[in-house]
Amino acid sequence: MNAKSVTVRHLLEMKKEQRKISVLTSYDASLTRLMEEAGVDVLLVGDSLGMVVQGQESTLPVTLDEMIYHTRNVARARQRTLLIADMPFMSYRSPDLALESAGRLMKEGGAHMVKLEGGATQLEVIRQITAQGIPVCGHLGLLPQSVHKLGGYRVQGREADRAEAIRQDAFALQEAGIDMLVLECVPSALASEITASLTIPVIGIGAGVDCDGQVLVVYDMLGMNPHPPRFVKDFLQSGGSILQALQEYVAAVRDGTFPAEEHGFK
């Protein structure tokens, strides 16, 4: 990392100063260079690559070796962004396996932080990883790796009991040592409440404008998904270049014009 690199500490400062954090997924060196030029703060090598790169029906088939490969490609091109890598399905089913997987994503892939899905069931795993100095990003709400358990890609937390469970999980994850939290497809009011209550940065995707930052799958915000989720805006639709679209996304996140009300859920 150079002196201008975004770090976990910088993200905490951005939350305290109420400066929005821009996050996008990246899977290769070419897009990474454009995102760096556009001023994106954080890059996420998501297991979403299973669907948008590999053509899979879900994220479940993605392997740890594949995640390491794509993370390494992004790491070669990044200059200042913080680099997060998803831990794929079944790569953290026990604390010891989770530590081994996270260590490989850091050592072989060049990640600065790892991300995993789930709440209270993951506390022991998170404590094991963070005890070794590895930053962790949590993920609550819609959990793509649990899509079959959830019955599809559906908004989470509309019912009072589910909302309370997400709240409790958020605090438990923070207590266990996570450095950042992603909230996906939860009601905007619930995400706003959780964001205001936690001391760590909260990044939303389909979670309203009040989160500390936003993340989208880059292919979605470039209009490459023929059936985009409701929370997506096509930043390339107005014309121009990919770089301009990335710059517009960063600007819209920072000034709070994205997401708009129509991109959220009640």
- Cα–Cα distance, 129 to 95 (Å, whole number): 8
- Looking at the DSSP bridge assignments, the partners of residue 136 are 114
Task: Tokens for 180, please give them.
Answer: 């950042």
- Looking at the DSSP bridge assignments, the partners of residue 7 are none
Please enumerate in sequence order all residues whose Cβ is within 8 A of that of 132, keeping only pairs 6 or more positions apart, or say none. Answer: 99, 103
Give the residue ranges of DSSP H helices in 46-154.
49-52, 64-77, 95-107, 123-130, 147-150
Do 73 and 29 meet the contact criterion of CB atoms below 8 Å apart? yes
Q: Name the residues annotated as catalytic.
A: 184
Burial class, 258, CB count within 10 angstroms (exposed 0-12 / middle 13-18 / buried 19+): buried
Q: Which residue has the tokens 């450095």?
A: 179
- Cα–Cα distance, 255 to 209 (Å, whole number): 10
